């Protein structure tokens, strides 16, 4: 097939990749790369068949010291690549340094044997070996251990993963045994030797096996001289051949060619085609022992085939005469004109978050002049909190802050910034996971946690104040609209750091801003959200979700510093901070996320009955008259407008 220009592959090959010449050469390469200063190992690698260097080049290296030094430096670079990046990158570097892929693929195929079928076979073997080496290197210590492992495997090849891989994904003629073809389908199938058979004969030099029907057991006749045993074994052989014939005849999708001839048995001259499976089909079980009977059987096979489109479905034709023609692939058609895309631009699909919506807000309540591009979505709750703290404008100008933070255990003097905010969030998250009420019952465990976390940050002076603050936070009553006050310690089964994802279909942040402005603190001044297009997903993490008096609430902790005492955390100051940071948008979006969760999980859900609302908790204002809390029950119209806005026309209003 290769001599005629027809590319093929033998899919039933069970040869091991470690039995190929490339495996031996790979071992030579590794030894030279592991010790590039050893001239003997390097010369052996350079003379390997796979490296395929011309003899003139090898002779020049023996005589030209500069060329040899340059080659030694190249192999030292392979050694450095191996030690730094691994064996697989090193092999790739070696292949490209000597231009082996291009040289191998340009070489004509050699039809002398299955192990030398051209460049694709070589390249496939080398890459297969390189991948095996990379996997083994994970469990071995150093290059020399890997070399020993390869040498041992070459001495004892075997294993399913080492069977030769298909060298190309291109359109190839597939040579496959009938056993291997079971369950597969091919467009065209040729069975050139389907009429042949291998008869079981009595012989003193071999044993014969057959199934004994009376004993219902497998029997092996060791001396093989009994004619009866041979007849039973041949009967089983014919039954198996019939099964394989059925498999072979049912693999083709469009057309099937059968090589049929009036074959004889052994050296006999009499036609004995009926001893094979195809002969049994042609003669319908009768003997085909003459040339005339053979031709009559073929004619009988073709006649019942009903014509279709003027041609019979079965055609009897003489075998073509041998020739030496070579098939040449047709030239590819010239490229046509470039196609014009119907869509202009790309869909701005991305994963947004509350932090991404407000990151362009300046501290003055206006858009920053050099606004950055939208940031990547936070991976977890702590990253979300850190991002929110980092981009938040300051509530109090630097010159208005005290030069030195007051002492005496006041939480107004606790460190400020993203790290402090993430620290406090982490403590409250741990309390929620342990159970708020249980934390109050185990002060020693709380002190141990606080001490460990403060020590790694150099905040040892804050261990005692924090151990005092946390229980006070857990007992602080939160006044809720249209509900009795609630404390963290009194919550039953709260959920902390719940992650949500909401699909968004081409919504504009300005549209979200307009909906929030119309329903939450209407008429009050606040910075505009930037004109950011949302298309993709909206992601967030809710600090706390809890149920109280039959209604569900979402709470978000804030560590903002508004002033040096409790008077700085009055209702007006909290509202001003809330609007400057646009926490009203966060509250609305988180309430919508809770609404969608309840709608999908709570039977008979009604937002007026079951949805409580959103809480923004300023932790440093816990001792203020309002306990640092801004609580809102978003009107149903706000939730429905936001829901429809994020769904977009693609989803409509379907529940």
DSSP-assigned states of every residue in 634-652: --HHHHHHHHHHHHHHHHT
pLDDT of residue 386: 61
| SS3 sequence of 208-253 | EEEEECCCCEEEEECCCCCHHHHHHHHHHHHHHHHHHHHHHHCCEE
Are the C-beta atoms of 55 and 168 separated by less than 8 Å? no
Dihedral over Cα of 223, 224, 225, 227: its sign: positive
Structure tokens at 467: 């151990």
State the Cα–Cα distance between residues 588 and 518, nearest whole angstrom.
12
Q: Could you tell me the pTM of the whole model?
A: 0.51
Model confidence over 503-532: pLDDT tens digits? 998 888 999 999 999 999 999 999 999 888
Phi-psi region of 351 (alpha: psi -120 to 50; beta: other; left: phi over 0): beta
State the Cα–Cα distance between residues 169 and 153, nearest whole angstrom.
28
Q: Tell me whether strands 217-221 and 208-212 are parallel, antiparallel or unpaired.
A: antiparallel
pLDDT of residue 517: 95
Which of these ranges, 197-201, 210-214, 380-384, 607-611, has the smallest mean pLDDT? 380-384
Mean pLDDT value of segment 581-599 = 95
Question: In the predicted model, what is the mean pLDDT of the chain?
Answer: 83
Confidence of residue 363 (pLDDT cuts 50, 70, 90): very low
pLDDT of residue 332: 85
* Nearest C-alpha neighbor of 263 from the set 290, 229, 244: 290
Mean pLDDT value of segment 144-169 = 74
> How many CB atoms are located within 10 Å of the residue 464 CB?
14
Model confidence over 209-239: pLDDT tens digits? 766 776 677 777 666 556 677 777 777 888 8
State the Cα–Cα distance between residues 137 and 307, nearest whole angstrom.
63
Model confidence over 294-314: pLDDT tens digits? 888 888 877 765 555 656 788
- Cα separation values, 109 from 1, 4, 119, Å: 11, 11, 7
- Cα separation values, 502 from 346, 408, 584, 596, 598, Å: 21, 45, 18, 9, 14
Which of these ranges, 78-82, 194-198, 201-205, 417-421, has the smallest mean pLDDT? 201-205
Are the C-beta atoms of 433 and 426 separated by less than 8 Å? no
Residues 6+ apart with CB under 8 A from 159: 16
Sequence-ordered alpha helix ranges (H) in 435-475: 436-441, 443-455, 463-475
pLDDT of residue 369: 35
Quote the distance between the C-alpha of residue 483 and its chain's center. Answer: 48
Question: Does 644 score more than 90 pLDDT?
Answer: yes
Q: Tell me whether strands 551-558 and 533-548 are parallel, antiparallel or unpaired.
A: antiparallel
Among candidate residues 25, 556, 566, 584, the one labeled active-site is 556
Question: Does 569 score more than 90 pLDDT?
Answer: yes
Are the C-beta atoms of 611 and 594 separated by less than 8 Å? yes
Strand partners, 140: none
Quote the distance between the C-alpha of residue 599 and its chain's center. Answer: 33
State the Cα–Cα distance between residues 238 and 340, nearest whole angstrom.
62
pLDDT of residue 265: 76
Question: Does 98 score more than 50 pLDDT?
Answer: yes
Percent of the chain with pLDDT over 70: 81
Are the C-beta atoms of 20 and 49 separated by less than 8 Å? no
Question: Does 650 score more than 60 pLDDT?
Answer: no
- In the block, tokens 């340009």 appear at 106
Confidence of residue 111 (pLDDT cuts 50, 70, 90): very low
What b/e sequence results for 365-374 when a residue is b if at least 16 CB atoms lie within 10 Å of its CB, and e otherwise? beeeeeeeeb
pLDDT of residue 399: 37
| Active site annotation includes 556 | yes
State the Cα–Cα distance between residues 9 and 15, nearest whole angstrom.
13
Model confidence over 47-62: pLDDT tens digits? 999 998 999 999 999 9
pLDDT of residue 651: 54
Higher confidence at residue 596 or residue 290? 596
Are the C-beta atoms of 15 and 338 separated by less than 8 Å? no
Question: Does 372 score more than 50 pLDDT?
Answer: no
């Amino acid at each position: 097939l290769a001599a005629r220009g027809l590319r093929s592959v033998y899919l039933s090959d069970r040869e091991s990749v470690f039995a190929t010449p490339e495996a031996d050469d790979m071992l030579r390469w590794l030894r030279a790369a592991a010790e590039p200063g050893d001239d003997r190992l390097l010369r052996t690698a350079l003379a390997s068949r796979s490296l395929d260097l011309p003899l003139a080049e090898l002779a020049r290296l023996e005589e030209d010291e500069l060329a040899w030094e340059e080659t030694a430096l190249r192999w030292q670079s392979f050694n450095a690549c191996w030690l730094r990046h691994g064996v697989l990158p090193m092999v790739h570097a070696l292949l490209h340094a000597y231009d082996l892929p291009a040289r191998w693929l340009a070489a004509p195929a050699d039809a002398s044997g299955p192990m030398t079928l051209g460049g694709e076979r070589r390249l496939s073997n080398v890459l297969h070996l390189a991948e095996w080496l990379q996997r083994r290197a994970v469990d071995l210590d150093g290059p020399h251990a890997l070399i020993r492992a390869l040498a041992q495997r070459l001495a004892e090849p075997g294993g399913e993963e080492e069977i030769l891989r298909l060298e190309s994904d291109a359109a190839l003629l597939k040579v496959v045994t009938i056993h291997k073809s079971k369950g597969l389908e091919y467009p065209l199938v040729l069975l050139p030797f389907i009429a042949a058979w291998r008869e079981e004969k009595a012989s003193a030099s071999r044993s014969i096996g057959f199934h004994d029907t009376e004993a219902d057991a497998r029997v092996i006749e060791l001396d093989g001289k009994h004619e009866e045993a041979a007849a039973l074994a041949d009967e089983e052989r014919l039954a198996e051949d019939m099964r394989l014939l059925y498999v072979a005849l049912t693999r083709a999708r469009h057309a099937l060619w059968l090589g049929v001839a009036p074959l004889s048995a052994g050296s006999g001259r009499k036609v004995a085609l009926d001893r094979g499976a195809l002969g049994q089909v042609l003669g319908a079980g009768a003997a085909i022992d003459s040339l005339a009977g053979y031709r009559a059987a073929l004619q009988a096979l073709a006649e019942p085939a009903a014509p279709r489109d003027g041609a019979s479905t079965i055609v009897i034709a003489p075998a073509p005469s041998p020739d030496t023609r070579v098939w040449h692939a047709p030239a590819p058609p010239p490229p046509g004109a470039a196609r014009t895309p119907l869509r202009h631009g790309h869909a701005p699909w991305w994963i947004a978050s509350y932090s991404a919506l407000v990151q362009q807000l300046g501290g003055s309540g206006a858009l920053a002049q050099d606004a950055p591009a939208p940031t990547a979505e936070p991976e977890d709750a702590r990253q979300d909190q850190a991002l929110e703290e980092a981009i938040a404008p300051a509530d109090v100008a630097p010159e208005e802050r005290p030069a030195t933070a007051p002492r005496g255990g006041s939480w107004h003097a606790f460190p400020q910034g993203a790290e402090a905010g993430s620290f406090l969030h982490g403590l409250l998250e741990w309390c929620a996971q342990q159970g708020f009420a249980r934390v109050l019952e185990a002060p020693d465990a709380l002190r141990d946690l606080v001490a460990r976390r403060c020590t790694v940050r150099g905040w040892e002076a804050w261990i005692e104040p924090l151990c005092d603050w946390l229980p006070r936070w857990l007992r602080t009553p939160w006044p809720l609209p249209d509900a009795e006050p609630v404390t963290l310690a009194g919550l039953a089964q709260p959920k902390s750091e719940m992650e949500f994802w909401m699909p968004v279909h081409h919504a504009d942040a300005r549209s979200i801003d307009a909906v929030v402005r119309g329903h939450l603190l209407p008429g009050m001044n606040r910075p505009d959200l930037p004109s950011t297009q949302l298309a993709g997903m909206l992601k967030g993490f809710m600090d706390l979700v809890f149920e109280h008096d039959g209604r569900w609430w979402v709470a978000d902790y804030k560590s903002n510093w508004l002033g040096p005492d409790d008077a700085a955390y009055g209702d007006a100051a909290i509202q001003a901070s809330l609007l400057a940071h646009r926490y009203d948008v966060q509250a609305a979006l988180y309430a919508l996320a809770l609404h969608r969760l309840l709608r999908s999980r709570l039977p008979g859900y009604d937002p007026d009955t079951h949805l409580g609302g959103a809480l923004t908790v300023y932790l440093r204002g816990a001792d203020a008259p309002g306990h640092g809390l801004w609580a809102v029950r978003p009107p149903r119209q706000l939730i429905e407008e936001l829901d429809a806005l994020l769904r977009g026309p693609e989803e409509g209003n379907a529940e």
